[in-house]
């Protein structure tokens, strides 16, 4: 199936006719676009902005540091910007968003996360995973919509690829491509061979199962991740006075959007970052990111085995305000020595007054990370209150956080109890 055929086939389930009509109706009017502050959210926002501007719509983009769109933020922005149409891109599909129809009558949720809560009936949803789960990205969904509206060019293609890489839906370095995005990927892979070819160069956060090969796309996506805080709010404002006023998601968005206005092939990650309008600050941020990565990785390599169960070695790492924690741990997971079938890596970061953060990573998911994280969160909720702890995830990767100051000794007691019950 060609990409054009695929877009046509998906158009019904993705409400493309309806959304395309809404976009046509908004010609000459104002749009407000929200996007997530990770590489996929940023590229989703860029593709939407480009599409809307091609339709003579004036666009304001917001890149908040929160994942979900809060009612208070939406209300305030509507008063300030008076938009005729609102897009919420890559910011989850929450059942409670449906009530936002009372605040504005032209809201479109464009997303690729599974629905959480009740089905949405009053706001328009563009989301391919409402039926069965698909590995894809907000950027690829935005690209499909823009293609349906007849408005894509190479800038949108490259943006879609960066978002797909950022959300792990494509792996050009190992040729693991999600089925759902194959029609798009196969359609562009020759054209962007310079971006997708395997190279011997610095391995990135995406080189988890192997570190020998990478691609320029992987390096570019990691740079956008570093500049934007990656959706985990790893910011560098306090490192250097020149960076004090950088708003990370916005900074990444603006630099990438500007570069994409005339995207020239580049031959190294340095050449990519050097072509940004604010290259000097971008380079500074990326250097801090790389040095944080090295520091955290060397600490994590000292983690100890705390238990072996179910042919799985369980390693535990403990630190304070650990930078880039789950990302570095995803790589370290494969470097920890073990002769068992599986390894589970549990990372713990004490964030002082802000609570604690546990991350879980597993090579094969023999012990379910998500179940452990969820059970741990429930135990924390019992101790400190329902609203102050949350946790869950997938067999291979999960997170658990508390949002309240609580004695770390007691937190670790609860954790040890859960660990010994495994
Ligand atoms: Mn995403």
The distance from CA 305 to its chain's CA centroid, rounded to whole angstroms, is 30
374-382 CB contacts, 8 Å cutoff, 24+ apart: 374/398, 374/400, 375/418, 376/400, 376/414, 376/415, 376/418, 377/401, 379/414, 379/417, 379/418, 380/411, 380/414
Cβ neighbors of 70 (< 8 A, separation 6 or more) are none
Q: How far is the CA of 35 from the centre of ligand 1 (A)?
A: 9
Q: How far is the CA of 111 from the centre of ligand 1 (A)?
A: 7
Q: How far is the CA of 44 from the centre of ligand 1 (A)?
A: 8
Q: Are 31 and 86 in contact (CB under 8 A)?
A: yes
Say what the pLDDT of residue 131 is: 86
Residue range(s) of every CATH 3.90.1640.30 domain in the chain = 3-152
Say what the pLDDT of residue 263 is: 97
Angle at 369 between CA 372 and CA 383, to 5 degrees: 25
Q: How far is the CA of 40 from the centre of ligand 1 (A)?
A: 5
Q: How far is the CA of 90 from the centre of ligand 1 (A)?
A: 5
Confidence of residue 393 (pLDDT cuts 50, 70, 90): confident
Q: What is the mean pLDDT of residues 301-307?
A: 96
Q: What is the mean pLDDT of residues 161-187?
A: 97
Architecture of domain 301-420: Roll (3.10)
pLDDT tens column, 223-273:
999 999 987 788 999 999 999 999 999 999 999 999 999 999 999 999 999
Q: How far is the CA of 105 from the centre of ligand 1 (A)?
A: 25
Burial class of residue 421 in the structure, from the number of CB atoms within 10 Å of its CB (0-12 exposed, 13-18 middle, 19+ buried):
exposed
Say what the pLDDT of residue 353 is: 86
Q: Could you give the CA distance from residue 62 to residue 25 in angstroms, rounded to a whole number? A: 22
Would the pLDDT of 166 be above 90?
yes
400-405 CB contacts, 8 Å cutoff, 24+ apart: 400/357, 400/358, 400/359, 400/360, 400/373, 400/374, 400/376, 401/355, 401/356, 401/357, 401/358, 401/377, 402/355, 402/356, 403/354, 403/355, 404/355, 405/352, 405/353, 405/354, 405/355
Q: How far is CA 91 from CA 41, 70, 189, 304, in A?
A: 8, 11, 28, 36
What percent of the chain is modeled with pLDDT above 90? 94
pLDDT tens column, 31-64:
999 999 999 999 999 999 999 999 999 999 999 9
pLDDT tens column, 334-359:
999 999 999 999 999 999 889 999 99
Q: How far is the CA of 211 from the centre of ligand 1 (A)?
A: 24
Q: Could you give the CA distance from residue 62 to residue 34 in angstroms, rounded to a whole number? A: 5
Residue range(s) of every CATH 3.10.310.40 domain in the chain = 301-420
Would the pLDDT of 201 be above 90?
yes
- The tokens 């020759």 sit on which residue? 190
What DSSP letter does each residue of 150-183 carry, written as one string?
A: T---HHHHHHHHHHHHHTTSEETTTTEE-GGGHH
pLDDT tens column, 202-221:
999 999 989 999 999 999 99
Say what the pLDDT of residue 265 is: 98
Structure tokens at 351: 């964030």
pLDDT tens column, 230-244:
877 889 999 999 999
Q: Are 108 and 19 in contact (CB under 8 A)?
A: yes
Say what the pLDDT of residue 231 is: 79
Q: Are 136 and 126 in contact (CB under 8 A)?
A: no
From 143, 146, 117, 140, select the one nearest 130 (Cα to Cα).
117
Helix, coil or strand: residue 69: coil
The distance from CA 387 to its chain's CA centroid, rounded to whole angstroms, is 24
Q: How far is the CA of 89 from the centre of ligand 1 (A)?
A: 8
Say what the pLDDT of residue 230 is: 83
pLDDT tens column, 13-32:
999 999 999 999 999 999 99
Q: How far is CA 82 from CA 18, 114, 141, 211, 387, in A?
A: 22, 30, 26, 49, 33
Q: Are 370 and 344 in contact (CB under 8 A)?
A: no
What percent of the chain is modeled with pLDDT above 70? 100
Q: How far is the CA of 338 from the centre of ligand 1 (A)?
A: 33
Q: How far is the CA of 41 from the centre of ligand 1 (A)?
A: 6
What DSSP letter does each residue of 191-242 carry, written as one string?
A: TTHHHHS-BSS---TT--S--S-B-HHHHHHHHHHHHHTTTTT---TTT-GG
Q: How far is the CA of 122 from the centre of ligand 1 (A)?
A: 23
pLDDT tens column, 81-128:
999 999 999 999 999 999 999 999 999 999 999 898 999 999 999 999
Say what the pLDDT of residue 157 is: 98
Helix, coil or strand: residue 317: strand
Architecture of domain 3-152: Alpha-Beta Complex (3.90)
Strands 397-402 and 389-393 turn out to be antiparallel
């Amino acid at each position: 199936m060609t990409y054009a055929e695929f877009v046509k086939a998906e158009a019904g389930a993705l409400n493309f006719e309806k959304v395309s009509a809404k976009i046509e109706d908004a010609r000459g009017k104002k749009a407000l676009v929200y996007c997530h502050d990770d590489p996929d959210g940023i590229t989703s926002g860029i593709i939407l902005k480009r599409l809307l501007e091609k339709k003579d719509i004036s666009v304001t983009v917001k890149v908040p540091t929160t994942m979900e769109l809060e009612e208070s933020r939406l209300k305030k922005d509507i008063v300030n910007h008076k938009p005729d149409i609102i897009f919420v891109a890559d910011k989850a599909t929450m059942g409670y968003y449906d009530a936002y129809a009372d605040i504005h009558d032209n809201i479109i949720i464009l997303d690729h996360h599974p629905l959480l809560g009740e089905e949405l009936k009053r706001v328009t949803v563009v989301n391919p995973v409402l039926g069965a789960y698909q590995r894809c990205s907000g950027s690829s969904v935005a690209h499909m919509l823009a293609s349906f509206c007849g408005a894509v060019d190479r800038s949108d293609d490259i943006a879609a690829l960066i978002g797909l890489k950022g959300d792990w839906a494509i792996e050009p370095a190992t040729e693991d491509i999600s089925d759902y995005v194959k029609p798009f990927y196969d359609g562009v892979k020759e054209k962007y061979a310079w971006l997708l070819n395997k190279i011997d160069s610095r391995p990135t956060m995406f080189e988890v199962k192997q570190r020998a090969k990478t691609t320029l796309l992987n390096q570019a996506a990691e740079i956008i991740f570093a500049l934007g805080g990656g959706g985990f709010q790893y910011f560098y404002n306090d490192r250097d006075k020149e960076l004090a006023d950088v708003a990370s998601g916005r900074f990444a968005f603006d630099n990438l959007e500007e570069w994409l206005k005339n995207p020239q092939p580049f031959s190294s990650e340095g050449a990519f970052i050097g072509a940004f309008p604010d290259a000097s600050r971008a380079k500074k941020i990326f250097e801090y990111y790389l040095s944080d990565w090295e520091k955290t990785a060397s600490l994590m390599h000292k983690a100890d085995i705390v238990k072996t169960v179910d042919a799985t070695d369980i390693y535990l790492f403990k630190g304070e305000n650990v930078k880039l924690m789950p990302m570095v741990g995803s790589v370290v997971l494969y470097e920890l020595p073990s002769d068992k079938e599986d390894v589970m890596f549990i990372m713990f970061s004490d964030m002082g007054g802000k609570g604690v953060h546990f991350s879980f990573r597993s090579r094969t998911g023999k012990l379910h990370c998500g179940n452990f994280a969820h059970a741990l969160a429930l135990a924390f909720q019992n101790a400190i209150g329902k609203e102050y702890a949350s946790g869950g995830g997938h067999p291979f990767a999960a997170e658990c956080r508390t949002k309240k100051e609580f004695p770390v000794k007691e937190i670790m007691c609860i954790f040890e109890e859960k660990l010994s019950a495994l």
